[in-house]
Amino acid sequence: MKTPKASFLVWQRKFHKENDRIGYLKKLKWSDGFIFPHCPHDKGIDLHCRQITEYSNCHKQTSVRTGTLFIAATCLC
């Protein structure tokens, strides 16, 4: 995933809310739409509390943060 260079201060100003960061990562990672990395499908169940998507056929999970330097915070549902 190729990203433009930005200073930490610019990044903080542009992405100070979690939803802004998630939306930006989705645009970068899935610019052609979501395709599940384990199976060639585009449908999954969004588990919003953990911010992951689970494919109901194989039960594997993925996140927009997978393969990035960002780590999801722990959420107790």
Q: Among 30-34, 38-42, 64-68, where is mean pLDDT lowest?
A: 38-42
Is 73 within the bounds of a domain? no
Is 75 within the bounds of a domain? no
- At 64 the pLDDT is 83
Q: Is 67 left (phi over 0), alpha (psi -120 to 50) or beta?
A: left
Range of 56's domain?
A: 8-62
- Summarised one tens digit per residue, pLDDT across range 13-28 is 887 787 888 888 888 8
- At 1 the pLDDT is 56
How far apart CA 71 and CA 77 sit, in angstroms, is 18
- At 76 the pLDDT is 43
CB 54 within 8 A of CB 43: no
- CA 53, 56, 57, 59 torsion-angle sign: positive
CB 23 within 8 A of CB 64: no
Our count of domains for the chain comes to: 1
- CA 44, 46, 56, 58 torsion-angle sign: positive
